Structure 1
Amino acid sequence: MGPEERARVVESLPGEVTWDEMAMPEGDPHFGAKVRTLDVLKGYFRNQKRKVYLGAELPVYYPAERRFAPDLVAVLDTEPHERNKWVVSHEGKGLDWVLEVHFGGDRKKDAVFNVKRYAQLGIPEYFIYDRRKQRLEAYRLLSPESRRYERMLPRQGRFVSEVLGLELEVSEEKLQLWAGNALLLESAEMLARVQEKLEQVALQREEEARRREEMELRLAEETRRREETEQRLRVLQAEVEHLQRPKE
């Protein structure tokens, strides 16, 4: 099959999955966790200036496998342009990292079936965020050739993703991501902090302006008093000189 024919085949593949192929909607808690995590990851890798493709609910095609659509996927060192599907044979590589968010429905799909399937597909890391129970599970292939996951153990409450180069934990009832000691923030949180800092700077400037104004008023008052004192001294000096003049 030539490149043009291959491209036509890839283009003809559906860019969506059916209800039979994906879990039923789980509401705002499920959707919000995906959106927030995707936003945090995109912001981090954008700042790192590293090409990483990040997608949500993207139909994925592995050769001779039934398509599926994970909640979140990451593929390293890949152009991050928009896609409506991920075709492994066309892209030249499979997924590097998958996150499934669970809130309702059949948990076995994420915690049993996908653990086996994603390992067999050779996906290096797989994370499960149980939003209802506020719990995180993580799995890793110990070698590229392995097709069986080993369950990760947390380090001081955090799971280390070697693929992403980040640490993940559940804290304050949400999934948090860390780069070393730095907590990664979503866009809204970063904007809120920037706004808070701008307000603090504005207040500091107002306080500095108030202090300068008070200082200028004090200096003006001191100058006025000094001038009055000098004027009184001149008057007294003139009176003394008048009194010291010899009388005719």
Structure 2
Amino acid sequence: MSMEERERVVESLPAEVTWDEMAMPEGDLHSEGKRQALGALRGYFKQQRRRVYVGTELPIYYPGERRFAPDLLVVLDADPHLRGKWVVSREGKGLDWVMEVHVGGDRKKDAEYNVRRYARLGIPGYFIYDRARERLEAYRLPSPEAREYVRIEPRHGRYPSEVLGLELQLDEERLRFWAGNALLLEPEEMNERLRGMLDGAQRRADEEARQRAEEVRRREEAERRLAELQVELERLKSRGE
């Protein structure tokens, strides 16, 4: 098959999955779990100016494998432009990190089948965010050649991900990402912090303007008083003469 023919085949691959291939919708807990993590990771890697693709529910095509669409996926050293699908043969590499968000129903797909499948595909890191039980399960490949996961044990409540260079933690029903001692803020939190900084800067500017206006008023009052005193002095001199 020529390159042009191969490209036409890739282009013809669907950019969506069927209902049979997807889990049933699980409401706000499921969508919020993905959205918050997506925003935090995209913001972090953008700030780091790293070429990292972060996507959600993207149809994934591995050669000879049935397509699938993980809740959240990360590919290192990949252009972060928008995509409708990830075709390994076109992109030149597979996924580096996957997270599935589980809310209800049968856990076997995420906790058993995907553990075996993602390891067999050579995906280095796999996390399960179980919102029903409020816990994390984390796996990694012990070597690039390995095709069986080992569990990642938490350290002081945080699960390290060598792939991401981050640590994950559940905190008050929210999934948090840490870069060392720095907490990765979600977009809403970043906006709120920026608004707070802007409000603080505006208050300081208003206070400085008020102080400058008060200084001008005092100076003008002092100048007016000085002029009055000079007039009074001249009046007294004229009387003395």
Same fold (TM over 0.5): yes
Deviations 1:81-111 (A, max 9, x none): 2222222223221110001111112122111
The residue aligned with 2:97 is: 97
The residue aligned with 1:146 is: 146
Contact 1:74 1:97 in 2 (8 A): yes
Gaps of 5+ in 2: none
**How far off its partner does 1:238 sit?**
4.0
Aligned mates of 1:238, 1:12 — CA distance in 2: 105
Partner of 1:213, secondary structure, is helix
Deviations 1:18-74 (A, max 9, x none): 222221110111012112211222222222222112221111122222221110111
Query: Which letter maps to 1:183?
Result: L
The residue aligned with 1:184 is: 184
Aligned mates of 2:192, 2:28 — CA distance in 1: 22
Deviations 1:198-232 (A, max 9, x none): 12111111111111111221222222223333333
Task: Tell me the TM-score normalised to structure 2 length.
Answer: 0.92
**17-26 or 81-90, which moves further after superposition?**
81-90
The residue aligned with 1:85 is: 85
Please say if 1:131 is aligned against 2:149: no
Partner of 1:138, secondary structure, is strand
Query: Which letter maps to 1:18?
Result: T
**Runs of at least 4 residues off by over 4 Å:** none
Partner of 1:37, secondary structure, is helix
Superposed CA RMSD:
1.7
Matches within 5 A, 1:114-125: 114-125=114-125
Please say if 1:19 is aligned against 2:25: no
The residue aligned with 1:172 is: 172
Contact 1:59 1:86 in 2 (8 A): yes
Matches within 5 A, 1:54-73: 54-73=54-73
**How far off its partner does 1:236 sit?**
3.3
Query: Which letter maps to 2:53?
Result: Y
Gaps of 5+ in 1: 243-248
Please say if 1:205 is aligned against 2:210: no
- Identity across aligned pairs (percent)? 62
